[in-house]
Amino acid sequence: MTRSSRVARFRNSLAFKVIFSTVLLCLAVVWLTGSALYAQLSDGIRKVKVESSVAESRSAIFNAQYRIILGSDSSAKAIKQIVDDIIVNSPSVIGTAINGREVALLRTRSTPIGAINYQETSNQMLVSSIPNELRLRVQKSISTEWSETLIRYSDGTKVSALAVGEKITIPKAGDYEMYLLFSLDRQDATLVLLSRSLFFTGIVLILLIALITFLVVRQIVRPVREAARIAEGFTAGDLSQRMQIKGKDEIARLGNAFNEMALSLQNQINRLENLSHVQQGFVSDVSHELRTPLTTLRMASEVIYATREQFDPNIARSAELLVAQIDRFEKLLEDLLEISRFDAEVAVLEIVEFDVVALVEQCISDLSLLAKERATSIELIHFGEPGLIQADIRRVERILRNLLTNAIEYSDSKPLKVRIVSSENEIAVGVRDYGIGLDEASAYRVFDRFWRADPSRARVRGGTGLGLSIALEDARLHHGELEAWGRQGKGAHFVLTLPRRSGGEVISRPIRLKPEDFSSTS
């Protein structure tokens, strides 16, 4: 099996479709719930961090303000020392150095630059780390304000952080702002971990769902596949198979319904087969029952016929008619039996290879006597080489004889033309007469059983009215075609087209049905 066909088979399977759509839907659901969960969790984590940071900042700033106020009597230098302590030592004071806390004391713009600038940041953090927007808020507010930002160091590194600030007053210097910046690295790391685990949980969940779907679908699909297999078996003629039924669920009901259908189908088929057997048996019985009296009749009539010269002319003529009618009766019986064999589909081909040209020549020579009686002649046109064909010679001969006999009978004493043309796949025999012809509507009906072109017109003497029907059935049995063309007063054209190889089909038409010597204007 090739890769593409395997893919195609997979695509065509119900299991694939169900699993595919389930996985797709689950993916959407997992995606939505995952992102909602993530958003909620990250919000919560931030909120906790903000709360703790703000509280911590408040106490630290209060502490700083307290220490500055305590030292307010000292010199500006001493206060600077205190501020330095607060900035540099604040981590150790608060004990959160591991949290990466940074501190900044910034001069509010309105405060004049005095002798000593107390503005200072810890760890070479740049002043630009504190957003202007936050500073404006702090300057206006009387309590703490916060904002998210990036800590920028002088060496260029950046760390995402939370900045919390409050006004602070330094005696003899004026208003300053104190900021504490808390690194959010840990929270970010937690969130990354969280999103990763959510992602992997989602993948595993989807895989599990796919597996579960596969197992569930298989439970349903297996009986469906079995039903399909059995149905295919039915099509192929195996009527004996049934589905196995377990439990009482819907699948079991399907199985039951399927088996009941199978049984009823089997019964129907058996009934039809029986009917067909009865029909065949009947045909065989009719054959036997009619043939025995017919044999007696025939011998009796022959005995009378053989001595007809001893009787007066009327009785002698009666004896002749009797013999002729018994012949006709027998022919009719044969034809009816043949038709019933076609109807019962018991007609079989006995295929041999033979030369159609030779067979046509044989038929023409056999019918030369009849042609002479009807004052006509037959011209055979063919392309020299033998036309070999694999077919049932008896049936093909019967078709040819029938077409030729009809053509002679209706020839109106004008010569006939028989053409044989072969192609690679088929051989066609065209029988053209120029006699009384058929009208267009009749050309379609000539193959009907017991059909007469004109009910008032006498049938060909001795004809059964079944000849062309049998010829058509014979042609069809070979997968061949037999068609008729005709115009009132312009004669008729019958074309037999047969595939050259047994079991082949007619693809092209070596002889056109509409005769070449006919144009609609003539």
Partner 1 sequence: MTLVMVVDDDQDLAEMLGIVLTSAGIDVDLVSRGDEVLEVFRANPPDLVLLDVMLPGLNGIEVCKLIRAESMVPIVMLSAKGDTIDVVEGLEAGADDYMIKPFKHPSELVARIRTRLRRSSAGLSGRLTLADLAIDLVAHQVTRGGKLIALTRLEFDLLVALAKEPRRVFTRDALLSEVWGYRHSTDTRLVNVHVQRLRAKIEHDPENPEIVVTVRGVGYKAGVTGGV
Q: Which residues bind partner 1 (CB under 8 A)?
A: 284, 287-288, 291-300, 302-303, 330
The residue among 22 and 464 lying less far from partner 1, judged by its C-beta, is: 464
The residue among 41 and 337 lying less far from partner 1, judged by its C-beta, is: 337
Half-sphere exposure of 264 (CA within 13 A, CB side): 5
Residue 272, burial from CB neighbour count under 10 angstroms (0-12, 13-18, 19+):
exposed
Q: Least distance to partner 1 from the beta carbon of 322, Å?
A: 14
Residue ranges of alpha helices (H) inside 184-312 are 185-235, 250-306
Q: Least distance to partner 1 from the beta carbon of 297, Å?
A: 8
The residue among 189 and 303 lying less far from partner 1, judged by its C-beta, is: 303
The residue among 85 and 302 lying less far from partner 1, judged by its C-beta, is: 302
Question: How far is Cα 231 from Cα 476, in angstroms, rounded to an integer?
Answer: 30
Q: Least distance to partner 1 from the beta carbon of 303, Å?
A: 7
Q: Least distance to partner 1 from the beta carbon of 368, Å?
A: 18
Contact 184, 150 (CB under 8 A): no
Coil/strand/helix, residue 381: strand
Coil/strand/helix, residue 312: coil
Relative orientation angle of helices 467-477 and 313-343, to the nearest 10 degrees: 30
Compute how many other C-beta atoms are within 10 angstroms of the C-beta atom of residue 144. 20
The residue among 216 and 333 lying less far from partner 1, judged by its C-beta, is: 333
The residue among 23 and 333 lying less far from partner 1, judged by its C-beta, is: 333
Q: Least distance to partner 1 from the beta carbon of 233, Å?
A: 32
The residue among 271 and 394 lying less far from partner 1, judged by its C-beta, is: 394
Compute how many other C-beta atoms are within 10 angstroms of the C-beta atom of residue 280. 15
Question: How far is Cα 455 from Cα 489, in angstroms, rounded to an integer?
Answer: 17
- Which residue in 90, 214, 102 sits closest to 159, CA to CA? 102
Q: Least distance to partner 1 from the beta carbon of 295, Å?
A: 4
Q: What does residue 187 show for φ and ψ, rounded to 5 degrees?
A: -65, -40
The residue among 124 and 295 lying less far from partner 1, judged by its C-beta, is: 295
Question: How far is Cα 99 from Cα 96, in angstroms, rounded to an integer?
Answer: 5
Question: How far is Cα 270 from Cα 264, in angstroms, rounded to an integer?
Answer: 10
Q: Least distance to partner 1 from the beta carbon of 395, Å?
A: 15
Q: Least distance to partner 1 from the beta carbon of 274, Å?
A: 21
